[in-house]
């Protein structure tokens, strides 16, 4: 990571630095500068606690780290949703892969001042698409060691619980828990997303958020499922809706 990036993360992570950088950015954009340069400047319009935690995370893992399956913009959008989640409870991610997005959820818990992240994965891939998860072989057959390494590197061992198993089976073990945010990013087939929604949506607190990733993924069933069975259901209101082309979020009634 460059020295300039380190300095930026350090300065913008202080209260005064955050304010100064935000005002500077507003002025620059007012005069037409920096319009096309978003990440990581977009993080400056967050409340101070959130920016501070993001800068802390980025000091450990640069914002453009390529170890996740989301784009940096998508991770920032998930972070924003998690920071804004006002309902009672923890956060849960279905499909954690190597834990980069999990770190953003954990940073959001720190910014909120409470809650934990439950990261659910078999960590050995899925039957969904055997070729895609051939990537698992490059990790010695399991992404769990890489996941643990990421969480430790982010300093989130005390905030994250790894739940190893099929998402629907883990749901049965978590029936007594309530969640402020559910991120669905595991099996992207129509039947897979449907099963995850059926098993986990009842565990989301009223006012809590249900977030679908890979909404725009060709050949996946996410968009079809959301359009046919989620929007208009009595369980949710379709807000905030399409946060990014690939992320759709609804609020539990």
Residues near ligand SAM (CB under 6 A): 68-70, 93, 95-97, 100-101, 120-122, 125-126, 128, 143, 166-167, 185-187
* Residue number, 165 or 240, with CB nearest to ligand SAM: 165
The answer to whether residues 201 and 182 touch, using CB atoms and an 8 Å cutoff, is yes
For the CB of residue 127, give the shortest distance to ligand SAM in the complex, in Å.
Answer: 8
- The residue behind tokens 């055997």 is 130
What one-character-per-residue DSSP string does 82-99 give?
HHH--SSSEEEEE--TTS
Shortest Cβ 70–ligand SAM spacing (Å):
4
Per the document, the length of the chain is 253
SS3 173: helix
Q: Which is nearer to ligand SAM, 11 or 69 (CB)?
A: 69
Closest approach, Cβ 43 to ligand SAM, in A, equals 18
Q: Which of 88, 240, 250, 233 is nearest to 183 (CA)?
A: 250
Q: Which is nearer to ligand SAM, 9 or 212 (CB)?
A: 212
Which CB atom, from 100 or from 230, has the smaller least distance to ligand SAM? 100
In the complex, the smallest distance separating the C-beta of residue 166 from ligand SAM, rounded to whole angstroms, is 4
**203 neighbors 90 (Cβ within 8 angstroms):** no
Of all residues in this chain, which one has the CB nearest to ligand SAM in the complex? 95
Distance CA 118, CA 136 (A): 21
Q: Which is nearer to ligand SAM, 34 or 135 (CB)?
A: 135
> What's the min distance (Å) between Cβ of 30 and ligand SAM?
34
**Cβ at position 87, least distance to ligand SAM in Å:** 21
Other CB atoms closer than 10 Å to residue 133's CB: what's the count?
A: 16
| 95-98-104 Cα angle (round to 5) | 80
CB 186 within 8 A of CB 95: yes
Of 8 and 215, which CB lies nearer to ligand SAM in the complex structure?
215
């Amino acid at each position: 990571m460059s020295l300039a990036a380190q300095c930026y993360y350090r300065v913008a992570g202080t209260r005064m630095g955050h304010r100064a950088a935000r005002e500077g950015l507003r002025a620059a954009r007012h005069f037409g500068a920096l319009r096309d340069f978003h990440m990581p400047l977009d993080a400056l319009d967050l409340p101070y606690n959130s920016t501070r935690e993001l800068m802390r995370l980025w000091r450990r893992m640069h914002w453009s780290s390529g170890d996740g399956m989301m784009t940096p913009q998508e991770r920032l959008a998930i972070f924003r949703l998690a920071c804004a989640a006002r309902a009672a409870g923890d956060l849960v991610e279905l499909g954690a892969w190597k834990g980069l997005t999990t770190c953003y959820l954990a940073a959001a818990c720190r910014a909120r001042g409470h809650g934990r992240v439950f990261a659910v994965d078999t960590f050995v891939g899925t039957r969904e698409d055997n070729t895609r998860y051939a990537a698992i072989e490059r990790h010695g057959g399991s992404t769990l060691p890489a996941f643990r390494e990421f969480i430790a590197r982010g300093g989130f061992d005390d905030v994250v619980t790894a739940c190893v198993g099929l998402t629907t089976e883990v749901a049965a073990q978590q029936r007594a828990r309530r969640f402020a945010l559910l991120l669905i990013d595991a099996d992207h087939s129509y039947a897979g997303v449907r099963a995850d929604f059926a098993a986990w949506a009842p565990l989301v607190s009223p006012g809590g958020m249900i977030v679908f990733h890979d909404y725009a993924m060709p050949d996946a069933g996410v968009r079809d499922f959301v359009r046919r069975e989620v929007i208009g259901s009595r369980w949710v209101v379709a807000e905030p809706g399409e946060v990014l082309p690939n992320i759709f979020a609804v609020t539990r009634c």
